[in-house]
Amino acid sequence: MKVFTLVRIAQRSIRKNKMRSLLTMLGIIIGVGAVIIMVAVGEGAKAQIEDQIQDLGTNMIVITPGSSSQGGVSRGAQSFNRLTVEDAETLGRESVILSAVSPVIFSFNQIVGGEGNWRAVTFGVAPEYRIIRDWDVASGRFFDQSDLKSMRKVVVIGKTIAENLYPDRDPVGERIRLRNVPFQIIGVLSEKGQTADGSDQDDVIIAPYTTVQRRLAGRMFIGQILASTFSPEEVEQAQEEIRQIMRESHRLADWEDDDFTVRNQTDIAEAAAGTTEVMTLLLASIAGISLLVGGIGIMNIMLVSVTERTREIGIRMAVGARGSDVLTQFMVESVVLSVLGGGMGIVLGFGGAALLAHFTGWATRITPQTILIALGFSAGVGIFFGFYPARKAAGLNPIEALRFE
C-alpha cells in the first residue's frame, strides 16, 4: 500500500473522531511547545551571555592575582595579591604579541556633583584601556598619556552617572568630588549596558591609574591587569607569553605555582554558558515529561482504535491484506497524530516564546535545529508508543476479527 494512501486513510480516521484526536494530541502539543519555549529561553540566555562577553572588549585577556591551584590545593583566583603597576609596565614593555596593556585599580567612592551625590566604582586605568575594552566616548575625550604622567585629576564617566547627576545637560567640563578630591569631567562614555551577571557597566568612573593610586586608593597592589592582542588567533599564544613574563617578574622558581591567573574571553564565556546549558537541559527535560504523557495517550487511543476497528481489520485481511500492511497502517496513523501534534506544538512554542520575551524582557532564540529536533522527537514518540497497538492489530486472527461484535 502506498504511503500517500496510508496517510490519507490516517487523516480520514483522525477527522472522523476530531475531538478524540485533538485530546490525544494535546499531550504532544503541550510537550513540544514547552520544550521549544524552555530551549528558546536557554538559547537566548546563552546568546545574550556571548554578546555581553564579546562586549567586554577586543581579544581581551584578564590577569588577576592568586592562582587557582597552589601546592596541590585549590585556592581560587585572587586568593592573595602580588599584582603591581610594574607588572603591567613590564608586560607592555617586554611582550611582542600584546597590542595593549592596562593596570586596573578599583576604588569605591561617594561622588558629589551635579544634582546631588552618587556611589560608584572608580577604575584607575591607562589610556590603552579604551582600546582593550573597545569603548568609545559619546562626548568629550578620553584621557591621554600626558594626563597619566602628570597625574591630572580628570575623569571620564559612564552614561548612568551622567544621566543621574546631570540629567538635562552635557557634564563635560563640570567638576565632581571623589573623597573630597576635586576632579574635572573630560568625557562621557558610550553606553555598554549590563554584564552577564546583571551589573551595570555604565555605572562607572574611569581615571588615570596614577591619580587613583595616589589620591584615592593608596595601595601598592592592583586589582587586575587587562591586555589585548591584535587578532583572536594570537590569544592563546599571548597567554603563554604573559605567564612567562609574569613568572620572571615575580621571580618564581620552576617548582612554584603561578601566583596569578590568566584568562581570556573564551574561558569566561564557557564558564557562564556552562551554567546556562545545564539549566536549559534541566528545563527541557522537565518539559519533555509532557511528551512522555502525550505518547502514553497516543498508545491508549490507538489501542481503543484497534478494538473499535477489529471487524474492519478482519475484512482487510480477508481480502488479502497481510499483517505487515495492517501494522504499517496503524503505525502511520500513530505517526500522523504525533506529527500533527508536534506541528501545533511548534506554533504554540513560537507564540509562547514571543509572549515570554514581550512580557518579561527575557531574550529568547529559536533555532532551526530546535524545530527539527522537536518534530523528530514527536514522530519518534508516535513510532515508539504506536508500535504495540499496531503489532496487536497485525496479530489478530482474521476469522475471530470478522466475528467480533
Q: How confident is the model at residue 270 (pLDDT cuts 50, 70, 90)?
A: low
Q: Are residues 103 and 40 in the same domain?
A: no
- 106 in a structural domain: yes
Distance CA 234, CA 228 (A): 9
Q: Are residues 336 and 385 in the same domain?
A: yes
- 235 in a structural domain: no
Boundary-marking domain end, from 174, 203, 230: 230
Q: Are residues 223 and 292 in the same domain?
A: no
- 89 in a structural domain: no
Which stretch of DSSP H or E encloses residue 104?
A: strand 98-113
**Local structure of 63: helix, strand or coil:** strand
Backbone angles phi, psi at 14, to 5 degrees: -65, -45
Q: Are residues 225 and 274 in the same domain?
A: no
Q: Are residues 152 and 41 in the same domain?
A: no
- 238 in a structural domain: no
Greatest mean pLDDT among 21-35, 220-234, 269-283 lies in: 220-234
Q: pLDDT at position 287, please?
A: 63
Residue 171: C-alpha distances to residues 59, 114, 137, 361 (Å): 31, 8, 13, 31
- The whole-angstrom distance between residue 310's C-alpha and the CA centroid of its chain comes to 53
pLDDT in tens, 332-387: 777 888 888 888 888 888 888 888 888 877 778 887 887 887 777 777 777 777 77
Q: How confident is the model at residue 70 (pLDDT cuts 50, 70, 90)?
A: very low
Cell match 496479530: residue?
395
Q: How confident is the model at residue 21 (pLDDT cuts 50, 70, 90)?
A: confident
Q: pLDDT at position 71, please?
A: 43
Q: pLDDT at position 395, please?
A: 73
- 277 in a structural domain: yes
Q: Are residues 226 and 292 in the same domain?
A: no
Cell match 546568546: residue?
47
Q: pLDDT at position 73, please?
A: 42
pLDDT in tens, 73-111: 444 444 456 788 899 999 989 988 898 999 999 888 888
**Spatial CB neighbours of 137, under 8 Å, sequence gap ≥ 6:** 130, 156, 187, 188, 189, 190
The whole-number average pLDDT for the span 124-143 is 91
Distance CA 297, CA 25 (A): 8
Q: pLDDT at position 405, please?
A: 54
Q: Are residues 344 and 296 in the same domain?
A: yes
**Spatial CB neighbours of 255, under 8 Å, sequence gap ≥ 6:** none
Distance CA 214, CA 150 (A): 12
Q: pLDDT at position 102, please?
A: 93
Q: pLDDT at position 77, please?
A: 45
What share of the chain in percent tops pLDDT 90?
21
Half-sphere exposure of 307 (CA within 13 A, CB side): 6
Q: pLDDT at position 126, please?
A: 94
Q: How confident is the model at residue 52 (pLDDT cuts 50, 70, 90)?
A: low
Q: pLDDT at position 175, please?
A: 92
- 84 in a structural domain: no
The answer to which of 71-75, 168-172, 186-190, 274-278 has the lowest mean pLDDT is: 71-75
- 81 in a structural domain: no
Cell match 500492511: residue?
325
Domain count within the chain: 2
Residue 2: C-alpha distances to residues 313, 325, 344, 380 (Å): 18, 10, 26, 21
Q: Are residues 125 and 213 in the same domain?
A: yes
Mean per-residue pLDDT over the chain, rounded: 79
Residue type, 101: V
- 256 in a structural domain: no
Q: Are residues 103 and 224 in the same domain?
A: yes
Boundary-marking domain end, from 215, 230, 245: 230
For residue 149, count other CB atoms closer than 10 A to its CB: 10
Q: pLDDT at position 76, please?
A: 44
The whole-number average pLDDT for the span 261-277 is 67
Domain that holds residue 310: 3-52+270-403
Cell match 497524530: residue?
337
Q: pLDDT at position 176, please?
A: 92
Q: Are residues 287 and 220 in the same domain?
A: no
Distance CA 90, CA 138 (A): 32
Q: Are residues 104 and 187 in the same domain?
A: yes
Q: Is-above-0.75 flag for pTM? A: no
Q: Are residues 47 and 141 in the same domain?
A: no
Residue 332: C-alpha distances to residues 7, 178, 281 (Å): 7, 75, 30
Residue type, 109: N
Residue type, 49: I
